[in-house]
């Protein structure tokens, strides 16, 4: 017997026919259409064979999100590996700035130390007795006075000295005061020497016998040792100071006005 197959009929519908999307030039399809398998012995198509058409589907895959700025928790790590040369140069610049700052601070400290040294470590003036002269000897009715020529030397090269007349000056012989007076008032330039005159008057009472003999000696044979003291003499050398001066002198004879050993 001959087996009969039902006839396949296609009914027309109102749906529009599918048309393939035009392919771009030089396009080679990735997937080749494969014909639907069938058995010749069991199936025979009596109608027009159906053609299988290929279609192209475009699938858009979203791109990964790329952050131009790293996340806060990864910013330090990213910065560490991003520009190592820039970091080295920044460290070098910081080191140079620290060195320059230290040099400037050292220069300022040195300048301040120099100013303090010049102000507070000034050299005190030096004094020396040039000669001693006795005026109004004890034989006269007036008090005996001692005229002393003093040489003052300012040892500061850039600082002048200003002396006030508030200091006390005494002349001693063997610890006994034989004359007293006030310190003179004068100015002295820096790094200079100056002679000043002192006038000391004897105190009430008689002078020591050895002093009177030396005053009467005109030959210069009776040597006497005296001590000249100046206490609390105000001296201004950029700042006011009170100095004490002690001069130990020896004269050949008080009767010889020009003899001072």
As given in the structure block, the two tokens for residue 113 are: 């130390």
Q: Where exactly are the structural domains of the chain?
A: 72-113, 126-251
Give the pLDDT confidence of 133-172 residue by residue, as tens digits: 887 665 555 678 888 999 999 988 888 888 888 889 999 9
Where do we find the tokens 């006075």? Answer: 145
E-strand stretches of the chain: 126-135, 145-153, 161-163, 168-173, 176-182, 186-188, 193-201, 224-236, 240-251
Residues 191 and 155 sit within 8 Å (Cβ to Cβ): yes
- C-alpha 88/C-alpha 106 separation (Å) is 27
Q: What band does 218 get if pLDDT is binned at 50, 70 and 90?
A: confident
Query: Using CA of residue 173, residue 222, residue 126, residue 235, what is the dihedral sign?
Result: positive
Highest CATH level, class, for 126-251: mainly beta
pLDDT recorded at residue 2 = 46
- C-alpha 145/C-alpha 196 separation (Å) is 16
- C-alpha 261/C-alpha 255 separation (Å) is 14
Instruction: Tell me: pLDDT of 10 over 50.
Output: no
DSSP 8-class letter at 191:
T
- C-alpha 236/C-alpha 163 separation (Å) is 7
Give the pLDDT confidence of 177-187 residue by residue, as tens digits: 888 999 888 89
pLDDT recorded at residue 138 = 58
58-72, 80-94, 113-127, 166-180, range with the lowest pLDDT = 58-72
- Specify the higher pLDDT residue, 17 or 238: 238
Nearest to 196 by CA among 259, 258, 246, 147: 147
Nearest to 179 by CA among 213, 215, 228: 228
Instruction: Tell me: pLDDT of 73 over 60.
Output: yes
């Amino acid at each position: 017997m001959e087996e009969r197959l039902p006839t396949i009929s296609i009914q027309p519908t109102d749906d529009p026919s599918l048309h393939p999307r035009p392919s771009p030039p030089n396009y080679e399809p990735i997937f080749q259409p494969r014909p639907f398998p069938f058995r010749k012995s069991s199936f025979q198509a009596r109608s027009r064979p159906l053609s299988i058409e290929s279609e192209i589907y475009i699938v858009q895959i979203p791109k990964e999100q790329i952050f131009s700025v790293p996340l806060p928790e990864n910013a330090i790590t990213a910065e560490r590996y991003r520009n190592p040369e820039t970091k080295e140069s920044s460290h070098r610049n910081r080191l140079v700035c620290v060195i320059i700052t230290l040099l400037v601070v050292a220069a300022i400290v040195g300048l301040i130390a120099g100013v303090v040294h010049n102000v507070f470590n000034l050299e005190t003036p030096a004094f020396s007795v040039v000669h001693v002269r006795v005026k109004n000897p004890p034989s006269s009715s007036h008090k005996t006075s001692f005229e002393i020529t003093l040489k003052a030397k300012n040892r500061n090269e850039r600082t002048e000295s200003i002396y006030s007349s508030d200091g006390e000056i005494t002349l001693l012989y063997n610890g006994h005061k034989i004359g007293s007076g006030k310190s003179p008032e004068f100015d002295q330039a820096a790094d200079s020497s100056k002679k000043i005159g002192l006038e000391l008057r004897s105190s009430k009472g008689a002078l020591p016998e050895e002093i009177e003999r030396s005053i009467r000696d005109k030959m210069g044979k009776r040597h006497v040792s005296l001590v000249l003291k100046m206490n609390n003499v105000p001296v201004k050398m950029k700042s006011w100071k009170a100095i004490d001066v002690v001069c130990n002198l020896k004269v050949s004879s008080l009767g010889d006005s020009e003899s001072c050993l």
